Amino acid sequence: GNSVTQMEGPVTLSEEAFLTINCTYTATGYPSLFWYVQYPGEGLQLLLKATKADDKGSNKGFEATYRKETTSFHLEKGSVQVSDSAVYFCALSDNGGSQGNLIFGKGTKLSVKP
Protein backbone atom coordinates (compact mmCIF):
# COMPACT_ATOMS: atom_id res chain seq x y z
CA GLY A 1 0.00 0.00 0.00
CA ASN A 2 0.92 3.66 -0.09
CA SER A 3 3.20 4.93 2.64
CA VAL A 4 5.43 7.83 3.63
CA THR A 5 8.69 7.62 5.54
CA GLN A 6 10.39 10.69 6.93
CA MET A 7 13.46 11.18 9.05
CA GLU A 8 12.92 10.90 12.75
CA GLY A 9 13.51 13.86 14.96
CA PRO A 10 13.90 15.84 16.89
CA VAL A 11 16.15 18.04 14.81
CA THR A 12 17.87 20.89 16.63
CA LEU A 13 19.60 23.63 14.64
CA SER A 14 21.05 27.05 15.29
CA GLU A 15 19.50 30.07 13.63
CA GLU A 16 20.62 30.56 10.00
CA ALA A 17 21.64 26.90 9.64
CA PHE A 18 20.70 24.85 6.58
CA LEU A 19 17.77 22.48 6.99
CA THR A 20 17.01 19.19 5.27
CA ILE A 21 14.22 16.89 6.34
CA ASN A 22 14.19 13.70 4.30
CA CYS A 23 10.97 12.17 3.00
CA THR A 24 10.53 9.11 0.80
CA TYR A 25 7.34 7.50 -0.36
CA THR A 26 5.89 4.30 -1.71
CA ALA A 27 2.90 4.61 -4.00
CA THR A 28 1.27 3.14 -7.03
CA GLY A 29 0.56 5.52 -9.84
CA TYR A 30 1.45 9.18 -9.63
CA PRO A 31 0.69 10.69 -6.23
CA SER A 32 0.71 14.32 -5.26
CA LEU A 33 3.13 15.18 -2.47
CA PHE A 34 2.76 17.65 0.37
CA TRP A 35 4.53 19.13 3.35
CA TYR A 36 2.33 20.22 6.23
CA VAL A 37 3.56 22.16 9.26
CA GLN A 38 2.19 22.27 12.81
CA TYR A 39 3.36 25.26 14.83
CA PRO A 40 3.09 25.01 18.64
CA GLY A 41 -0.51 25.29 19.74
CA GLU A 42 -1.86 25.51 16.20
CA GLY A 43 -3.49 23.16 13.71
CA LEU A 44 -1.72 21.64 10.75
CA GLN A 45 -1.42 23.84 7.72
CA LEU A 46 -0.22 23.24 4.22
CA LEU A 47 3.33 24.46 3.66
CA LEU A 48 3.88 23.43 0.05
CA LYS A 49 2.93 20.81 -2.50
CA ALA A 50 3.95 19.29 -5.83
CA THR A 51 1.61 17.42 -8.11
CA LYS A 52 3.91 15.81 -10.67
CA ALA A 53 7.47 14.63 -11.14
CA ASP A 54 10.16 17.34 -11.17
CA ASP A 55 7.77 19.94 -9.78
CA LYS A 56 9.23 22.12 -7.06
CA GLY A 57 6.97 23.35 -4.29
CA SER A 58 8.08 26.45 -2.38
CA ASN A 59 6.76 28.69 0.38
CA LYS A 60 8.24 30.83 3.17
CA GLY A 61 11.79 30.00 2.03
CA PHE A 62 11.14 26.26 2.13
CA GLU A 63 11.50 24.12 -1.00
CA ALA A 64 10.90 20.50 -1.95
CA THR A 65 11.33 18.83 -5.34
CA TYR A 66 9.25 15.83 -6.43
CA ARG A 67 11.85 13.21 -7.46
CA LYS A 68 10.17 10.22 -9.04
CA GLU A 69 13.44 8.39 -9.72
CA THR A 70 14.31 8.37 -6.02
CA THR A 71 10.69 8.50 -4.77
CA SER A 72 11.64 11.42 -2.56
CA PHE A 73 10.33 14.84 -1.56
CA HIS A 74 12.96 16.24 0.80
CA LEU A 75 12.22 19.55 2.52
CA GLU A 76 14.98 22.18 2.50
CA LYS A 77 15.55 25.70 3.74
CA GLY A 78 18.76 27.63 3.35
CA SER A 79 18.60 29.63 6.58
CA VAL A 80 16.21 28.66 9.36
CA GLN A 81 14.75 31.04 11.91
CA VAL A 82 13.54 30.51 15.45
CA SER A 83 9.99 30.97 14.13
CA ASP A 84 10.42 27.85 11.97
CA SER A 85 10.34 25.69 15.10
CA ALA A 86 7.45 23.29 14.50
CA VAL A 87 6.58 19.73 13.55
CA TYR A 88 6.79 19.00 9.82
CA PHE A 89 4.76 16.26 8.14
CA CYS A 90 5.33 14.80 4.70
CA ALA A 91 2.20 13.44 3.01
CA LEU A 92 0.94 11.98 -0.23
CA SER A 93 -2.41 11.64 -1.90
CA ASP A 94 -3.29 8.89 -4.31
CA ASN A 95 -4.39 10.76 -7.41
CA GLY A 96 -7.20 8.92 -9.08
CA GLY A 97 -7.43 6.45 -6.25
CA SER A 98 -10.65 5.53 -4.52
CA GLN A 99 -9.59 7.18 -1.31
CA GLY A 100 -9.64 10.91 -0.90
CA ASN A 101 -7.44 10.98 2.14
CA LEU A 102 -3.87 12.02 2.64
CA ILE A 103 -1.32 9.56 3.99
CA PHE A 104 1.07 11.21 6.43
CA GLY A 105 4.52 10.43 7.73
CA LYS A 106 5.18 10.40 11.46
CA GLY A 107 6.36 13.98 11.60
CA THR A 108 9.73 15.56 12.34
CA LYS A 109 10.05 18.05 15.17
CA LEU A 110 12.37 20.95 14.42
CA SER A 111 13.75 23.21 17.15
CA VAL A 112 15.74 26.27 16.10
CA LYS A 113 17.88 27.92 18.79
CA PRO A 114 18.86 31.61 18.68
Partner 1 sequence: GAGVSQSPSNKVTEKGKDVELRCDPISGHTALYWYRQSLGQGLEFLIYFQGNSAPDKSGLPSDRFSAERTGGSVSTLTIQRTQQEDSAVYLCASSLARRTNEKLFFGSGTQLSVL
| Residues found near partner 1 in the complex (CB under 8 A) | 4, 32, 36, 41-46, 49, 51, 89, 91, 93-107
Closest approach, Cβ 51 to partner 1, in A, equals 6
Closest approach, Cβ 41 to partner 1, in A, equals 7
Closest approach, Cβ 98 to partner 1, in A, equals 8
Q: Can you tell me the distance from the alpha carbon of 31 to that of 68, in angstroms, rounded to the nearest whole number?
A: 10
Contacts with 43 (C-beta within 8 Å, 6 or more apart), sequence order: none
Query: In the complex with partner 1, which residue's Cβ is closer, 9 or 17?
Result: 9
Closest approach, Cβ 93 to partner 1, in A, equals 4
Query: In the complex with partner 1, which residue's Cβ is closer, 13 or 44?
Result: 44
Q: Can you tell me the distance from the alpha carbon of 110 to that of 66, in angstroms, rounded to the nearest whole number?
A: 22
Query: In the complex with partner 1, which residue's Cβ is closer, 36 or 73?
Result: 36
Phi, psi torsion values for 82, nearest 5 degrees: -55, -35
Query: What's the chain's Rg over C-alpha atoms?
Result: 14
Query: In the complex with partner 1, which residue's Cβ is closer, 43 or 114?
Result: 43
Q: Can you tell me the distance from the alpha carbon of 81 to that of 55, in angstroms, rounded to the nearest whole number?
A: 25
